[in-house]
Chain A
Amino acid sequence: MHIPDGWIDPAILIITWFFTLLGLFVSIRRMKHVDERRITYMAVLAGTIFAAQMLNFPVFGGTSGHLLGAALATTIVGPWGGLLVISVVLIIQAILFGDGGILALGANIFNMGIIGVFLAYFIIRLMMVYTDPKQSSRMKIKYYSGVFLASFLSVFIASFFAAIEIGIPIFNSSSFVTFSEVLPLMLFYHLIIGVAEGVITCVIVAYFNTIEMDVFLEVNNPSFSFPLLRR
């Protein structure tokens, strides 16, 4: 889902860069009081997401997909930490590996970081806050449905935003694809990629639950990272 340079209208670039820089500014400020343990988790998580994004798995229709990792990041280090993790991965991919454009980096961080991470966070908060999978099988189903749905929708909606950005020209009328052309195809491919993302994320979260890690520490304690969402 890495958009290269030259695919997006300059006006869309400016808008996405504005929200990206704002998001990064707030994230870095939120990290001021974060301890060493959490940054260690973020570092290892970022390395893993980078390696996972390198790995394209085959998808029906002669295309391929890779893990986005936004839902995984938000479950482990919260939305602000998750945004930083995804942003660092995307910046390194763009600068060192030529994956995604530099000018389009704002749009890529906006889609996969801001949309992916925060959407996953809101779904997890809505569906599974204070849900303990060890209490009953019903709770377990609710818990993993939340993880799956958050992962799936983070990919699916991020691709929807990517389609909007690619397909809607504002100043640059020479855009080579239109929104109506690119949207159904993007949603179709990312529907399948999203299912794979959901399954992979559930497996990883299940592993973290077996080692009794505070997987949803930040999700269950929103005041820790996101006072606006305090219930």
Chain B
Amino acid sequence: MRHINNRYLFGTIILLLGLILIAPFADPNPDGLESAVSSIHDNPEGNSFDLGLFSDYGGENSFLFHILNNEFLSVIVSAIIGVIVIIGIFIIPILYIRHNKKGISS
């Protein structure tokens, strides 16, 4: 296996932590798509599959917000949970590759 560039990992993890920490200060206005549609239609309500646990990334409607009772914290916690889940998904193929390597070497 080629050497993993540690400075890539270091730089990206620093960037990731920075993004998570500033996430609660993100702009509350709707994004380009919602703005475009809401300027034409008064109530552009769409449906999402919402479990309610982390609605709006830990926003006031989410279960996490009601547990922590602090929006700043709930946004950060939901961002961390999201990052962990996403990285966890990529760990599955890594474990598979390692398992295969073990099988070949033994």
Q: Which residue of B lies closest to A186 (CB)?
A: B36
Contact of A54 among B23, B29, B98 (CB under 8 A): B23
Asked whether B33 is an interface residue with its Cβ less than 8 Å from the other chain, the reply is: yes
Contact of B26 among A55, A62, A101, A208 (CB under 8 A): A55
Encode B4-26 as 1/0 by CB contact (under 8 A) with A: 11011101110110011011001
Smallest distance from the beta carbon of A30 to chain B beta carbons, Å? 12
Q: Are A37 and B4 in contact (CB under 8 A)?
A: yes
Count of chain A residues near B, Cβ 8 A: 68
| Known contacts A1-B32, A57-B26, A63-B31: A52-B87 contact under CB 8 Å | no
Residues of A within 8 A of B57 (CB): 54, 97, 99
Instruction: For the complex, give the distance between the alpha carbons of A55 and B26 in Å.
Output: 5
Contact of B37 among A42, A59, A182, A207 (CB under 8 A): A182
Instruction: For the complex, give the distance between the alpha carbons of A7 and B7 in Å.
Output: 43
- 19 inter-chain pairs at a CB distance below 8 angstroms, sorted by A residue, are A1-B33, A5-B49, A7-B44, A7-B46, A36-B98, A43-B91, A44-B9, A51-B16, A54-B19, A55-B19, A63-B34, A64-B35, A92-B85, A92-B86, A97-B57, A98-B48, A104-B46, A176-B44, A213-B5
Listed in ascending order, the chain A residues whose CB lies under 8 Å from chain B are 1-7, 31, 35-37, 39-48, 50-52, 54-59, 61-66, 88-89, 92-102, 104, 159, 162-163, 166, 176-177, 181-182, 185-186, 189-190, 193, 204, 207-208, 211, 213
